[in-house]
């Protein structure tokens, strides 16, 4: 651990090369910046080029902004190739890419199912497929960000969780196929990000009320920065941590108000 470069928990990433897909905002952005502070060269990937460039600028002169949409198979391979071209290899891959809808399973359209699967499971699988030859050479790590909603069920997030739960199966299977690479799934609970920003207020209010009734949101939210320190620690650790569940600590006194942003 190197407290000066990587924070109290972050660990030292030396000169390692890290690709964060879903690096334009939220947990991915925070993780990329924490990784850069811990000594890594970081590529931030996602669709919003301006945000990626801002994240790369904050991370330092060696960082890279790569526009890509993981729903497009060729872009999944390309984002890895561009990272390797620039950095001369790849040591770690963080899949923080994700999106959700908030609706019951029976109201989830075919197009929404395809979008959920393409973004949350197939895209991450294809990026990982392209990265594995590089990660194998260096005994690198892959971290898939999943959701505590896979344990739920959180009303409104069941379709999302069904897709996200595939990440754990994927990670276990990939671990068997590629034993020198370390695969982790980190299932996280509510974290303060904009992941629900596209959802209308009435729907959000109704769903938070259901989640409160189930006791899912009584603990408050985690900050993406606190989570990022742990994710960097996971990358830097000599240990293998196949499955991690990250939840916020209990509130000092459980208040009635709803969290503002995160999902399960």
Question: What residues act catalytically?
Answer: 160
* H or E element that contains 182: strand 182-188
CA angle 100, 103, 107 (to 5 degrees): 120
Which is closer to ligand NAP, CB of 71 or CB of 178?
71
Which is closer to ligand NAP, CB of 87 or CB of 208?
208
Which is closer to ligand NAP, CB of 48 or CB of 86?
48
* H or E element that contains 143: strand 141-147
Q: In the complex, what is the shortest distance from the CB of residue 28 to ligand NAP, in angstroms, rounded to a whole number?
A: 5
Q: In the complex, what is the shortest distance from the CB of residue 117 to ligand NAP, in angstroms, rounded to a whole number?
A: 11
Tell me if 155 sits within 8 A of 211, measured CB to CB. Answer: yes
Distance of CA 162 to the CA centre of its chain: 16
* Spatial separation of the C-alpha atoms in residues 133 and 60, rounded to whole Å: 27
Tell me if 37 sits within 8 A of 11, measured CB to CB. Answer: no
Q: How far apart are the first and last CA of the chain?
A: 30
Q: In the complex, what is the shortest distance from the CB of residue 129 to ligand NAP, in angstroms, rounded to a whole number?
A: 16
Which is closer to ligand NAP, CB of 12 or CB of 69?
69
Q: In the complex, what is the shortest distance from the CB of residue 147 to ligand NAP, in angstroms, rounded to a whole number?
A: 4
Token pair of 177, please? 């196929």
Helices 110-117 and 158-177, packing angle to 10 deg: 30
Footprint of ligand NAP on this chain (CB under 6 A)?
A: 22-28, 46-48, 51, 68-71, 96-99, 119, 145, 147, 188, 190-191, 193-195, 224, 262-264
């Amino acid at each position: 651990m190197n407290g000066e470069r990587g924070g109290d928990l972050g660990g030292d990433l030396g000169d390692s090369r890290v690709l964060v897909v879903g690096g334009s905002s939220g947990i991915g952005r925070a993780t990329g910046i924490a990784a850069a502070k811990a000594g890594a060269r970081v590529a931030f990937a996602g669709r919003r080029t301006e945000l990626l460039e801002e994240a790369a600028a904050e991370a330092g002169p060696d960082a890279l902004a790569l526009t890509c949409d993981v729903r497009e198979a060729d872009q999944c391979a390309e984002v890895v190739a561009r990272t390797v071209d620039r950095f001369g290899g790849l040591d770690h891959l963080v899949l923080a890419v994700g999106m959700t809808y908030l609706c019951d399973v029976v109201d989830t359209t075919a197009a929404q199912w395809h979008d959920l699967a393409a973004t949350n499971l197939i895209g991450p699988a294809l990026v990982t497929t392209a990265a594995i030859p590089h990660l194998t050479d260096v005994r690198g790590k892959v971290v898939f960000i999943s959701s505590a909603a896979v344990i739920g069920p959180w009303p409104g997030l069941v379709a999302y969780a069904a897709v996200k739960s595939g990440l754990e199966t994927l990670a276990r299977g990939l671990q068997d196929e590629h034993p020198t690479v370390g695969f982790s799934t980190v299932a996280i609970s509510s974290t303060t990000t904009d992941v629900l920003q596209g959802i209308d207020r009435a729907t959000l209010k109704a769903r938070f009320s259901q989640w409160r009734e189930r006791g899912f949101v009584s603990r408050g939210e985690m900050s993406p920065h606190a989570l990022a320190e742990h994710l960097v620690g996971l990358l830097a650790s000599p240990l293998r941590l196949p499955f991690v569940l990250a939840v916020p600590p209990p509130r000092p006194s459980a208040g009635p108000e709803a969290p503002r942003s995160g999902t399960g």
